[in-house]
Amino acid sequence: MTDILTNPVETTATDSGIVLGANQYGKAEVRVVKITRDSERHEIDDLNVTSQLHGDFEAAHLEGDNGHVVATDTQKNTIFSFSRDGIGTPEAFLLRLSDHFTSSFDWVSGGRWEAEKYEWERIQVDGEGHDHSFVRKGQETRTAYVLADGDERHVVQGLKGLTVLKSTEAGFVGYPKDRYTSLQETTDRILSTDVTARWRFAEGSRDLDFDAIYADVKRILLEEFTRRYSAALQTTMFDMGRAVLEAHPEIAEIRMSMPNKHHFLVDLSPYQLDNPGEVFFASDRSYGLIEASVTREGSDPALKVWQSATAFC
């Protein structure tokens, strides 16, 4: 593990030469639901927020001195309290939290804030959306991430669980074969995947219409999945990422993880039936896992952001 998760501090080595390395702490998965009631037609924001602080926490680890430990309960209460004034976009909400913690406590040099946003839509009654009754939308989960490092702010937006399928216009041929290869070549197969994507904005991006950008990136990902014949999931993935970067100069990089959700043709001949590519077994495992980043030539890979955006260990 690198030491990018907190600013390096001078630590006193023990007699055995063991020192404190990178560290962070905070409150994970704070579920906050904000109902806006400024009219009879209510609005709902539903987030799952994680707050983790970076800074000078050496004494807590080495001496049991909690003088610099902003309690995780305090972080939770701050999230709830900030939602009282409205959440807005998850990215803007996380930026507000990052500014608060780094400006309120001198020893907090930065941190990481993440959110999942759960979408709701109005229940339709006689063709009209109800004022205060909602049903959860289920296509995907929106994600957001902010890394604060001193005065720097890095914003990553994304989605996960966007399940897509095309029933033709996909194939897989020309791959190397050895004694262990059993997969047969095909020029017509089902291509299905669960799209997980995260796109990093150029450094300093704050005053953007994050809702509009999110909606457009999702549109591009879906449209590009359909647009041309897929010679491999890798090809389709790159086309999807390329289209996002071409349309949005404010986005520096996009990273995607897409499992190949295999569909196998079922042999119906034992039952005296043919199967002209219509009945399939959908296998949930094992699966091919395709992952890649698409970026701009010569751009900074911003490894600090991506390393911190993953779990600590």
Q: Please state the three-class secondary structure of 198-222 as a single string.
A: EEEECCCCCCCCHHHHHHHHHHHHH
Q: What is the dihedral of CA 252, 119, 222, 296, to 10 degrees?
A: 0
What burial letters (b/e) apply to 263-293, b meaning 16+ CB within 10 Å? beeeeeeeeeeeeeeeebeeeeeeeeebeee
CA–CA separation, 23 and 55 (whole Å): 8
Q: What is the DSSP letter of 237?
A: H
Annotation-wise, does 12 bind a ligand? Answer: no
Point out the catalytic residue in the list 34, 143, 262, 295.
262
Annotation-wise, does 45 bind a ligand? Answer: no
Catalytic site residue 236? no
Annotation-wise, does 189 bind a ligand? Answer: yes
Point out the catalytic residue in the list 68, 72, 160, 304.
72
CA–CA separation, 17 and 8 (whole Å): 17
Annotation-wise, does 149 bind a ligand? Answer: no
Annotation-wise, does 209 bind a ligand? Answer: no
Annotation-wise, does 48 bind a ligand? Answer: no
Point out the catalytic residue in the list 27, 34, 54, 117.
27
Catalytic site residue 130? no
Catalytic site residue 68? no
CA–CA separation, 124 and 13 (whole Å): 64
* End-to-end Cα separation, the chain, in angstroms: 8
Summarize the annotated binding site for urate as residue ranges. Answer: 72-73, 172, 189, 234, 260
| Binding-site residue ranges for O2 | 72, 260
Residues with active-site annotation: 27, 72, 262
* Residues annotated in a binding site: 72-73, 172, 189, 234, 260
